[in-house]
A and B are shown apart, each in its own frame.
Chain A
Amino acid sequence: MRVMVMVKATPESEAGVMPSKEILAEMGRFNEELVKSGVMLAGEGLHPTSKAVRINFSGKERMIVDGPFTETKELIAGFWILQVKSMEEAVEWMKRSPFQESAVELRPIFEIDDFGDAATPEIREQNDRLRQQTEGRG
């Protein structure tokens, strides 16, 4: 399964304060560990909401609101996408992160199979196909 890990914003991150060299180095080591273990698909930091906009929808109407946004606790400062076997595995990884403050939220990502239009096992049974596929096949 894939899990998205959202890093919660802090007053510092919202103010655009860069983390200390030490913290960044530790974070770098943690990221390397995630990559070396084959679980990291993506990971990014985001600029603070002072540079952001929000778009509210109402039928054809689009209302644009400029940042910064005040609900710091609700905002996101960065994220990872992890490929893991279980939520617990993702939680275990994040427990090992070098964060000293703030919090992360982990959420499972919708997979195609979640949408129920994937094949039933019986139907798949009928589709036993050759290993060596020919060009133009799936």
Chain B
Amino acid sequence: MRFMMLMIPAGYESAAPGTMPDDTEQVDAMMAYNRSLQEAGVLVACDGLHPPSMGARVRFDTGRPVVTDGPFAEAKEVLGGYWVINVASRDEAIEWAKRCPGAVNETIEVRQVMETDDFPQEMQTSLADFEAMQNR
């Protein structure tokens, strides 16, 4: 089963463009954590994201796409980064999230990734074709 661990750092919603992780100790701890995920063979992907002030949003509710540049005043919880891990159970995913050297302002949300089996039967064939196309 694959799970996504979403890292939500409070305050990142208003971070200035070009903000970088600057706490060396924190960065090193995070690198060590990533290494442990990798060595356990569970890490599928992980990335850090630039702040929303460097991002953009596209809305579709007016019939035509509307593009707005960040920062987004109304945002309360934003993503700072994510991991995708491949584990045997939900409990194992939660256990990995607990081991993250998170700071006081950080929250991790653990979400299960949709697999082909989670979709209705009639769609699975085309999804399987697509997965082959994606090299998965």
Contacts and interface: CB of A to CB of B under 8 A. Distances in A.
Question: Do A and B touch (CB < 8 Å)?
Answer: yes
A102 interface: yes
Contacts, number: 155
Q: Which of B50, B82, B108 has the most CB of A within 10 A?
A: B50
A4 B47 contact: yes
A116 B3 CA distance: 31
Nearest to A95: B65
B55 A57 contact: no
A106 B56 contact: yes
Given A52-B111, A54-B107, A56-B107, A109 B48 contact: yes
Given A44-B4, A107-B52, A110-B47, A51 B61 contact: no
Chain B at the A interface: mostly helix, strand, loop or mixed?
mixed
A95 B67 contact: yes
Contact of A81 (B47, B55, B56): B47
Nearest to B135: A35
B79 A6 contact: yes
A49 B115 CA distance: 16
Interface residues of B, number: 58
Q: Categorize the interface residue count of chain A.
A: 35 or more
A58 interface: yes
Contact of B119 (A18, A35, A46, A106): A18
A119 to B, nearest CB: 18
A77 B48 CA distance: 18
B120 to A, nearest CB: 7
A91 B58 contact: yes
A128 interface: no
Nearest to B126: A28
B16 interface: no
Contact of B58 (A21, A24, A54, A106): A106
27 contacts: A4-B49, A28-B126, A32-B130, A35-B134, A42-B134, A49-B109, A53-B94, A53-B97, A54-B107, A55-B98, A57-B103, A58-B104, A62-B98, A64-B98, A73-B74, A74-B75, A76-B79, A91-B56, A94-B58, A102-B59, A106-B56, A107-B54, A107-B79, A108-B49, A108-B55, A109-B47, A114-B20
Given A45-B114, A57-B108, A87-B56, 18 more contacts: A35-B134, A44-B4, A44-B84, A45-B113, A47-B112, A47-B114, A47-B118, A55-B98, A55-B102, A57-B106, A62-B98, A69-B109, A74-B76, A74-B78, A81-B45, A102-B60, A105-B52, A110-B48
